[in-house]
Amino acid sequence: MKLNGNFSVGNVWTIIITLMALAVLWGSSQNRISNIERQLERKADRELVEVKFEFIQSQLSDIKQLLEPIFQTSK
C-alpha cells in the first residue's frame, strides 16, 4: 500500500523499527556506562581505604617505636 507517492507501509514500519532499535541500543549503552562508573567508584573507594590503612599502619609503627624506650625504662 502506497502512502504519499514513494512511501509504502513497509517503509514506514522499517523506519519505526529502526528508530526503536536505536532507542534500545542507546538505553542499554547508558546502562553499561552507569555500571562501569559504579565499578570504578567502588574500586577508587577501595584503593583510598587501602592507602589510608597503610598510612595508619605506618603511623602506628612510628608511635610504637617512640614508645618502646619509655616502656623499656619503666620495667
CB within 8 A of 9, min separation 6: which ones? 1, 3
Q: What per-residue confidence (pLDDT) applies to 23?
A: 93
pLDDT over 80 at 59, yes or no? yes
- In Å, the largest CA–CA distance within the chain is 104
Over residues 31-55, mean pLDDT: 86
Of 50 and 2, which is predicted with more confidence? Answer: 50
CB 3 within 8 A of CB 12: yes
Mean pLDDT (the chain, rounded): 85
Helix (H) or strand (E) holding 14: helix 9-74
At residue 75 the predicted structure's pLDDT band, cuts being 50, 70 and 90, is low
Cα–Cα dist 30/38, whole Å? 12
